[in-house]
Structure 1
């Protein structure tokens, strides 16, 4: 219950836990280095990315992504190609998440929202980004 008598204490605990995880992630990223980044648009429903190899609708696979450089954990998500379009030497792929339970989908939606809000805040602080 987000309005119960312990809501404020739980919110503070959640914020502290998030800070610890962020700091640990940044430290691990600095220590281990980060993989090369690739542009990706994603949502609670799926993702769109440019890929070097063609794929056809119905193809399935695993999308491995690291949502933020400071987050040392890679997400391995099962996907299905729902559309593909050649784009110069790349192929634009639209992917749909497979076999994702509602709690996982809701967690992913919260993560995407949080990253989106951070990107907006970063642009507001530094409009040249």
Structure 2
């Protein structure tokens, strides 16, 4: 029984030494847990602040989108006018191209001379001038005098 008592006493002394060795790390761990508890206690307030800021940001973004929507609604007639002007310009330019192509096809015997002397650009400018002249002449004949 003496040996058993000595063995228990040795184990007890070893555990006591282990406790003295672990006191400092356990105290630091307790400090970490205390700091964690303080942080967790502040967490509901911080989450509330973040949620309030997010709500304010979303409301501001929503009002900005409404303003942009209103401005686009006010500008949409201008977009329609620009689209109509683009379609009218396309119609005029396609008519001019058709006229130029008709005149060019009508003079196939002079094509070799034109291509040999590189006169295609001048020929196109002359045709365009003639077309504009005809359009102006047609517009001046269609005017109505209200006198």
State if a TM-score over 0.5 links the two structures.
no
Larger-Rg structure: 2
TM-score after normalising by structure 1: 0.28
TM-score after normalising by structure 2: 0.25
Q: Which has the higher helix share?
A: 2
Higher relative contact order (CA 8 A, sep 6+): 1
